[in-house]
Amino acid sequence: MRRIAVVLSCLAALMVVSACSDGVEEVVDPAFAIRGKRVANRCVACHALERRDNKVGPHLVGVVGREVAVVRGFDYSEPMKTYGGTWSRERLQAFLRDPQVAVPGTRMAVSPMNEVELEGLLVYLESLQ
């Protein structure tokens, strides 16, 4: 069983490296995605991690690269609607660090996390396509 887990981890790392574009080799530690999934489990009280009904917050599938405040069926706050733009990795990072600084008046509350947890969460959110 352990040998299978090691092989799968190596294959996952190889797939990440081979998927890099522009000839730039960017290695993403698969442990970040695992850690990120654990952090994301804190989010499920308010957000779905699958494309289905929204909860207190909109679902998070495809959030990286998605336009802000566009998930059907979710009633966004006025500050979030006027924030506009696209959820780039950088914008999500700033928002998740401190939602009230990024979008004053948002209803979003965030569970405190350190930079390693935040990086893992971003890697995991990027995988939710």
User: For the domain that residue 118 is a member of, what is the CATH number?
Assistant: 1.10.760.10
Task: Give the per-residue pLDDT at 52.
Answer: 81
Q: Which residue has the tokens 């500050």?
A: 79
Please determine, for residue 111, whether its predicted confidence score (pLDDT) is greater than 70: yes
Task: Give the per-residue pLDDT at 115.
Answer: 93
Query: 10 in a domain, yes or no?
Result: no
Q: Which domain holds residue 111?
A: 29-127
The average pLDDT across 84-98 equals: 96
Please determine, for residue 21, whether its predicted confidence score (pLDDT) is greater than 80: no
Which alpha helices (H) appear in the chain, and where do they start and end?
Answer: 2-18, 30-40, 78-83, 89-97, 99-102, 115-127
Write down the pTM of the prediction: 0.75
Q: How many domains does the chain have?
A: 1
The average pLDDT across 42-64 equals: 93
